């Protein structure tokens, strides 16, 4: 597999933002249905997975100077809502 291009990394980071939006919308609800809980879990899993993306050498992260503050907050909030 080839290394991801800068545009591909940006697209992955953008997709992470979509997951943040979904999680935050669900967390704002007073209670969740089982389907909504599944949605939160899938999106939390997605964010944790992309944060762990590595380059082809499998030791170096693909990430550079991206700000993961919103992603980390969404993961924390999603997990708290599911607890």
Task: Quote the pTM value.
Answer: 0.89
CB 9 within 8 A of CB 17: no
**Domain residue spans of the chain:** 6-82
pLDDT tens-digit profile of 5-16? 899 999 999 999
Query: Which of these, 25, 24, 5, lies nearest to 13 by C-alpha position?
Result: 5
Q: What is the CA radius of gyration of the chain?
A: 14
- pLDDT by residue (tens digit) across 29-73? 999 999 999 999 999 999 999 999 888 888 888 998 999 999 999
């Amino acid at each position: 597999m080839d290394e991801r291009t800068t545009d591909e990394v940006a697209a992955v980071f953008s997709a992470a933002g979509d997951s943040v939006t979904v999680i935050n919308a669900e967390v704002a609800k007073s209670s969740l249905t089982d389907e909504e809980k599944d949605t939160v879990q899938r999106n939390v899993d997605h964010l944790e997975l992309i944060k762990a993306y590595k380059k082809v050498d499998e030791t170096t992260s693909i990430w550079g100077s991206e700000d993961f503050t919103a992603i980390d907050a969404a993961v924390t909030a999603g997990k708290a809502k599911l607890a």
